[in-house]
Amino acid sequence: MTQPPRSLVDDLRPDEVVLDERSRHHLERVLRLRVGEDVELVDGRGGLARARWAPAGRARIEERLPPQPPPRDAVVLAVAPPRLPRLEWLVEKACELDVAELQLLDAARAERLPGEGRLERLQRIADEALLQCRRLHRMPVRAPLGLQALLARPRTGGLWIARPPRPDARGATPAAGAAGGPRTQPGLLVLVGPEGGLQPEEEAAALAAGATPIALGATTLRVETAALAMAVLARLTSAVV
């Protein structure tokens, strides 16, 4: 049975919700939804409601489901952004992989950082992926932040850093070992540097903050490949615990 289409709304409390123009166009013109057909509404904060499509871009709520809490083993992915088309693809796939938050990382060797307009587009891509993969919590795409400021933030869980292959990479935990190891605290911050790698002082700062370096193999990966590999590894780790 085909599942009803979903739309993202700000508030699920009214009995009738007016959808924005973009959502209305998608439902009416792309999906050709008819008046009286089922639609689901999500608020991006764990809330879900079943509704009926109504005239003039409205949805009448018939049932509100109990809101779901955010996952306890949330993964925050902090990535030095690659070039824009690859960054957009990364945003979409990270949301599909249930990454809780995507923090853009202002590293010394990073590509050009996206401005406010680009950030809005990246958030739209994340929100569209949320609806497509049917998750209930939004994945915020955060404005670029320097490494020192990111490391200074309080955190309750672990810290990983993707380490590119290098002759002196002894001491980095192999990916298989990380997947089999325990995660004793909820939450994980994962750092992925630019393709040129983090500067030595940047990596040293992360290691001094307690980061575990994770080796992803013998090949040099693109930023988006490494980021998604780390996200999958984090999910596997939480499943093992």
**Torsion angle of alpha carbons 147, 109, 94, 119, nearest 10°?**
80
Q: What are residue 210's phi and psi, to 5 degrees? A: 100, 15
- What string of DSSP letters covers 162-181? EE---TT-TTPEEHHHHHHS
| C-alpha to C-alpha distance for 129 and 125, rounded to whole angstroms | 6
> What is 6-65's CATH number, 1.10.760.10, 3.40.30.10, 2.40.240.20, 3.40.50.460?
2.40.240.20
pLDDT along the chain (241 residues), means of 10: 90 96 95 96 98 96 96 92 95 97 94 90 98 97 96 92 75 62 67 92 96 92 96 78 37
pLDDT of residue 184: 41
Measured from the Cβ of residue 101, the count of other Cβ atoms closer than 10 Å reads 18
Residue 137, token pair as written in the block: 């919590």
Spatial strand order in the sheet of 6-8: 6-8, 38-42, 48-54, 58-65, 16-18
**H-state helical runs in the chain:** 21-25, 84-96, 116-133, 147-152, 175-180, 200-208, 223-240
Sequence-distant (6+) residues with CB within 8 A of 192 are: 77, 78, 79, 80, 105, 161, 162, 223, 226, 227, 230
Longest Cα–Cα distance of the chain, Å, equals 65
**CA angle, 88 then 92 then 93, to 5°:** 115
For the domain 75-240, what is the CATH code?
A: 3.40.1280.10
Length of the chain: 241
Domain assignments of the chain as residue spans, ordered by start: 6-65, 75-240
